[in-house]
Amino acid sequence: MSEERTLCGANSYVQKFYFNNDEFGNLPEHIKQELQIMCVMFTEENGGIITLTFDRDGTLRFNVTRDDADVLFDDIGSELAIRKIQKEKEELLNNLELYYRMFFLKA
């Protein structure tokens, strides 16, 4: 596998949440809800677009983008918010990586 797989994401500009049900639909509902809350809260507080993707090695990556016209977006604040999420949700994120490696990479 050489591509990234998107797990979920939220967009503050169109106020939408996306979950990749085609590939990750078998995750428990409470995990999906926790991911939704995490992503939506991030975009509510920081703006922009956040996506969580698995890279080819199974590492879960936080990707943040913003609209060029969004002058209120704070790059530093968003980085700090991601670090906070990674610390507070460390167990969840580690378990998601383990799940991905077991079911997608068969490692």
Give residue 7's pLDDT.
98
User: Mind giving me the DSSP string for the chain?
Assistant: --S-EEEEEEETTTTEEEE-HHHHTTS-HHHHHHHHHHHHHHHHHH-SEEEEEE-TTS-EEEEEE--TT-TT--HHHHHHHHHHHHHHTHHHHHHHHHHHHHHTS--
Give residue 70's pLDDT.
87
Could you tell me which of 39, 20, 45 has the C-alpha nearest to residue 93?
A: 39
Give residue 2's pLDDT.
54
- The pLDDT averaged over each successive group of 10 residues in the chain (107 residues) is 86 97 97 98 95 97 94 92 97 98 90
Give residue 1's pLDDT.
46
Give residue 33's pLDDT.
98
